[in-house]
Amino acid sequence: MNRREEVRTWPKQRHGSNQWLTPPIEVNEYRAYTVGTDGHITSSRAFRCADDGEAVTWAEQLQDGRAIEVWSGERFVIRLDNPLK
């Protein structure tokens, strides 16, 4: 396939339409809250992931000896307790 054919066939879009033939990747918004030893939130980070599993993996990297709560909007996802306790 030559360069001209590649450009003409990608991206895949219906002729005369703004709709893509492949579905868009869904991304969810999450927030990781760092919980202090007194149980109060000390900081937070907003991020986006494809699903809860990916969000938990992302939040685990923030632990650094601290408890983390992961939320997606008003929905509680998980509490990652302090691994050093």
Residues 6+ apart with CB under 8 A from 55: 28, 30, 47, 49, 70, 72, 77
Query: Is 6 part of a structural domain of the chain?
Result: no
Q: What is the pLDDT of residue 2?
A: 44
CA-CA distance, 29 to 71, in Å (whole number)? 9
* 62-83 pLDDT, tens digit each: 988 889 999 999 999 999 997 6
Domain that holds residue 41: 23-85
Query: Is 11 part of a structural domain of the chain?
Result: no
Entry pTM: 0.69
Instruction: Kindly give the parts of the chain with pLDDT less than 50.
Output: 1-10
Q: What is the pLDDT of residue 64?
A: 85
Structurally, the chain folds into a number of domains equal to 1
Using DSSP's 3-state secondary structure scheme, residue 8 falls into helix
Query: Is 15 part of a structural domain of the chain?
Result: no
Handedness of CA 10, 13, 16, 17 (dihedral sign): negative
Q: What is the pLDDT of residue 58?
A: 95
